[in-house]
């Protein structure tokens, strides 16, 4: 443990993957950096934990796609142990006994969709091309410091011009698509392309992840694009598993950071950020840990969300009212839960019995658009969905190191689990009932599931808040809705990773370009800190 009088260039609040990326880039530029993490392990929502003896769970996030290629390159993550394994396809069982099974093999997917609708099989190719064009437009924005559209500063105007020119360069069809993506619901957008209900339902699921919106809510079409933007080893929109679980991604980043000289401490919760009153709204000069230790630095970079950073860690009086109003307006509205199971065997789907490649990809309980919308209807009035949308993976079929031989892990991402329950309900008493609803829903398609569960962990939005420090349990440190993206994330006028307090920066998923295992906020914030040279 360093002596309490140690002085650093930058202290990073939180050892999630963005905090670690931030620290690594700063240290590689020669800064003396300390990362302080509250939990016993690193990674935040990208963590692997042995929840039951012998079973290592990606407790929160479970698949990867969005991690920026420049970060993998700059930090040489494969040399530090990062290995991404393929996740092939999405299998959607249907109550009728049929299924929809899309894989990465174009010909097979075309034939499978044609089995449901020939028109959709043709449209699927066109849709893929259109989405690729949309992604080409949006992708450079992910690596860009958001412009401040309210200033006449030529540098900011150039950024707006860059976006305007790119938009102008698109075909008129792509322009219309882009505007529709920004404004429509995922279901309405997909209705324009396809007729097969189960296809639209499964595809629309990407539009609601991490939001408190339904597939028919305007704005969800854009979220769909956010999840389309990934790539694995150059393969467009591919998703994969990290060998060792998503914690292995964070550990590879931590390893790169340590190699660059970063000091990392776990079980080091920060109670307060120290602000000195020698600048307009004060200047950050260090942190106070929960045990009272004070550690000083020229700058503090917070990877926790703005509610925690500005209302819990900063004493009142340092921040302007309009900024604080923005922080209070920022929406979290957690809507997701996770059910992790240790299994004694594999689920046996009625519609495709036995072991097979369909178990090696994602399995999606999203049989119809109406099913998805009804799941949201319950959540709107403060109830978890009795028949939720579930996205399941069995990582042990790809990475045997995660469980004892012959045993498996079933990781279920579930929506909706609203943070705010109806009066009279609370998550501590609803937790296991919610877990039962998830198991019962899966059992409608794979009845043997109940016989093979050895252990079950139910993670509610309240658990995400208590244990992972995610306000209101939002998995992305704040909803990925259009009104809080790009130059509006997290607060209008404060999207460039700075805050009204001098030398206090933000570097987590609550900043541009938002949530997911991307690392982009951590990297962009580091570049801005270095640009200021203050640290
Ligand atoms: C259930 C769930 C499922 C998800 N699934 C996926 C997925 O499959 N794929 C994907 O790409 N993304 C997924 N995500 C989103 C993704 O995991 C997150 O957006 C991302 O990991 C956030 O990284 P971060 O570093 O910005 O923040 P966090 O991971 O939130 O890191 C912040 C860190 O700060 C620490 N901290 C909090 N308070 C303090 C304090 N007082 N002092 C010190 N440290 C503190 C926290 O413990 C945490 O480690 C999921 C998230 C959740 C919760």
Query: Which string of DSSP letters, residue by residue, matches 254-302?
Result: HHHHHHTT-EEESS--EEEEEEESSSTT-EEEEEEETTS-EEEEEEEEE
Lowest pLDDT segment from 94-98, 102-106, 254-258: 102-106
The radius of gyration computed from the CA coordinates of the chain, to the nearest angstrom, equals 23
Res. 103: pLDDT tops 70 = yes
Strands (E), 419-514: 453-459, 504-506
The chain-wide mean pLDDT, for the chain, equals 95
Is the shortest distance between the CB of 147 and ligand 1 below 6 Å?
A: no
Task: Place 116 in a pLDDT band, splitting at 50, 70 and 90.
Answer: very high
Cβ contact 296:273 at 8 Å? no
Task: Round to whole Å and give the CA distance between 442 and 477.
Answer: 28
Ligand 1 atom nearest to CA at 464: 53
CA distance 168 to 186: 24
On the question of pLDDT at 236 being above 80, the answer is no
pLDDT digits (tens, 9 = 90+) for 80-89: 999 999 898 9
- Ligand 1 center to 17 CA (angstroms): 7
Which of these, 255, 289, 262, 258, lies nearest to 273 by C-alpha position?
A: 289
pLDDT-based confidence at 223, cuts 50/70/90?
confident
Q: Are 498 and 505 in contact (CB under 8 A)?
A: yes
The tokens for 182 are: 């920004």
Q: Is 304 in the pocket of ligand 1 (CB under 6 A)?
A: yes
Pocket test for ligand 1, best of 43, 49, 60, 253 (most atoms within 8 A of CB): 60
Under DSSP, the state recorded for 145 is P
Q: Residue 363 C-alpha to ligand 1 middle, in angstroms?
A: 23
Confidence of residue 4 (pLDDT cuts 50, 70, 90): very low
Atom of ligand 1 nearest to the CA of 338: 1
pLDDT at position 237, please? 62
Q: Residue 41's pLDDT is what? A: 98
Q: Are 132 and 171 in contact (CB under 8 A)?
A: no
In 143-268, which ranges are continuous DSSP H helix? 154-168, 172-183, 186-191, 197-204, 220-228, 247-259
Q: Which residues pair with 494 in a beta bridge?
A: none
Mean pLDDT of 436-446: 98
Q: What is the mean pLDDT of residues 235-245?
A: 83
CA distance 302 to 414: 29
Give the separation between CA 468 and CA 45, rounded to whole angstroms: 7
Rounded to whole angstroms, how far apart are CA atoms 426 and 406?
Answer: 37
* Measured distance CA(339)–CA(454) in Å, rounded: 13
Q: Report d(CA 463, CA 457) in Å as an integer.
A: 11
**168/300 Cα distance (integer angstroms):** 40
| Cα–Cα distance, 492 to 476 (Å, whole number) | 18
CA of 227 to the centre of ligand 1 (A): 17
Classify the phi-psi angles of 144: left when phi > 0, otherwise alpha if psi is within -120 to 50, otherwise beta.
Answer: beta
Calculate helix-pair angle for 247-259, 17-28, nearest 10 degrees: 20
More confident call, 225 vs 119? 119
Peptide bond into 513 cis (omega under 30): yes
Looking at per-residue pLDDT, the higher value among 228 and 401 belongs to: 401
pLDDT, mean of residues 207-218? 95
Ligand 1: does its nearest atom lie under 6 Å from the Cβ of 337?
A: no
Report which DSSP code applies to 165.
H
Q: Whose CA is nearest to atom 34 of ligand 1?
A: 14
Cβ burial of 126 (10 Å; 0-12, 13-18, 19+) is: exposed
Cβ(13) – ligand 1 distance below 6 Å: yes
Beta bridge partners of 275: 284
- Residue whose Cα lies nearest atom 27 of ligand 1: it is 16
- For residue 151 the two structure tokens come to 């200033």
Contact between residue 421 and residue 68 where contact means Cβ atoms under 8 Å apart? no
Q: Each residue of 25-43: pLDDT tens digit?
A: 999 999 999 999 999 999 9
Q: 125: CA distance to ligand 1 center in Å?
A: 34
Residue 329's pLDDT is: 97
- Give the residue, by CA position, lying nearest to ligand 1 atom 41: 270
Instruction: Tell me what percent of the residues of the chain surpass a pLDDT of 90.
Output: 87
The count of C-alpha atoms lying within 13 angstroms of the C-alpha of 50, restricted to the half-sphere facing its C-beta, is: 6
C-alpha to C-alpha distance for 84 and 66, rounded to whole angstroms: 12
For atom 18 of ligand 1, the residue with the nearest CA is: 516
Closest Cα partner for 144 from 133, 160, 131? Answer: 160
pLDDT for residue 104: 87
Candidate of 12, 13, 15, 16 to mutate for ligand 1, largest count of ligand atoms within 8 Å of Cβ: 16
- In this model, does residue 284 exceed pLDDT 90? yes
Question: What pLDDT shows up at residue 530?
Answer: 98
Atom of ligand 1 nearest to the CA of 467: 47
Burial of 312 (0-12, 13-18, 19+ CB in 10 A): middle
Q: Encoding tokens for residue 122?
A: 């043709």
Per DSSP, the three-state class of 339 is strand
Ligand 1 pocket, residue 332 CB under 6 Å: no
């Amino acid at each position: 443990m360093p002596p309490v009088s140690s002085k650093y260039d930058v202290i990073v609040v939180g050892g999630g993957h963005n905090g670690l990326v931030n620290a690594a880039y700063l240290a590689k530029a020669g800064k003396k950096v300390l990362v302080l993490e509250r939990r016993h392990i690193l990674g935040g929502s990208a963590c692997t934990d042995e929840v039951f003896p012998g079973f290592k769970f990606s407790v929160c996030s479970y698949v990867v796609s969005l991690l920026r290629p420049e970060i993998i390159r700059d930090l040489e993550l494969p040399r530090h142990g990062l290995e991404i394994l393929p996740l092939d396809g999405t299998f959607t069982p249907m109550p009728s006994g049929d299924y929809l099974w899309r894989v990465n093999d174009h010909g097979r997917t075309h034939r499978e969709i044609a089995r449901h609708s020939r028109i959709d099989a043709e449209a699927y190719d066109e849709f893929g091309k259109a989405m690729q064009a949309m992604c080409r437009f949006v992708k450079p924005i992910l690596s860009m410091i958001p412009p401040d559209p309210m200033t006449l500063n030529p540098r900011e105007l150039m950024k707006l011009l860059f976006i305007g020119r790119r938009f102008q360069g698109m075909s008129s069809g792509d322009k219309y698509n882009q505007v529709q993506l920004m404004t429509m619901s995922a279901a309405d957008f997909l209705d324009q392309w396809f007729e097969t209900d189960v296809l639209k339902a499964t595809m629309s699921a990407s539009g609601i992840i991490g939001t408190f919106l339904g597939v028919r809510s305007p704005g969800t079409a854009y979220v769909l694009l956010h999840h389309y933007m990934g790539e694995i080893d150059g393969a467009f929109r591919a998703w994969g598993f990290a060998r060792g679980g998503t914690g292995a991604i964070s550990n590879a980043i931590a390893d790169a950071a340590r190699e660059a000289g970063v000091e990392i401490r776990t079980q080091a919760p920060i109670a307060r950020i120290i602000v000195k009153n020698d600048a307009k709204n004060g200047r950050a000069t260090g942190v106070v840990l929960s045990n009272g230790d004070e550690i000083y630095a020229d700058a503090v970079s917070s990877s926790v969300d703005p509610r925690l950073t500005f209302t819990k860690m900063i004493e009142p009086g340092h921040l302007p009212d309009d900024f604080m109003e923005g922080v209070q307006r920022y929406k979290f509205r957690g809507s997701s839960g996770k059910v992790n199971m240790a299994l004694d065997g594999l689920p046996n789907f009625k519609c495709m019995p036995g072991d097979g490649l369909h178990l090696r990809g994602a399995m999606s309980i999203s049989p119809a658009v109406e099913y998805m919308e009804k799941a949201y209807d319950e959540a709107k009035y403060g109830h978890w969905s009795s028949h939720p949308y579930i996205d399941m993976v069995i990582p042990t079929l790809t990475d045997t190191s995660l469980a004892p031989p012959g045993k498996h892990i079933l990781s279920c991402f579930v929506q909706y689990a609203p943070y705010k329950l109806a009066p009279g309900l609370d998550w501590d008493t609803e937790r296991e009932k919610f877990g039962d609803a998830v198991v019962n829903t899966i059992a409608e398609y794979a009845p043997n599931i109940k016989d093979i569960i050895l252990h079950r962990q139910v993670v509610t939005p309240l658990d995400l808040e208590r244990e992972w420090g995610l306000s209101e349990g939002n998995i992305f440190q704040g909803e990925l809705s259009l009104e809080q993206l790009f130059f509006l994330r997290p607060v209008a006028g404060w999207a460039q990773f700075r805050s009204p307090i001098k030398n206090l920066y933000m570097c987590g998923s609550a900043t541009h370009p938002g949530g997911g295992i991307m690392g982009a906020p951590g990297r962009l914030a580091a570049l801005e800190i270095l640009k200021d040279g203050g640290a």
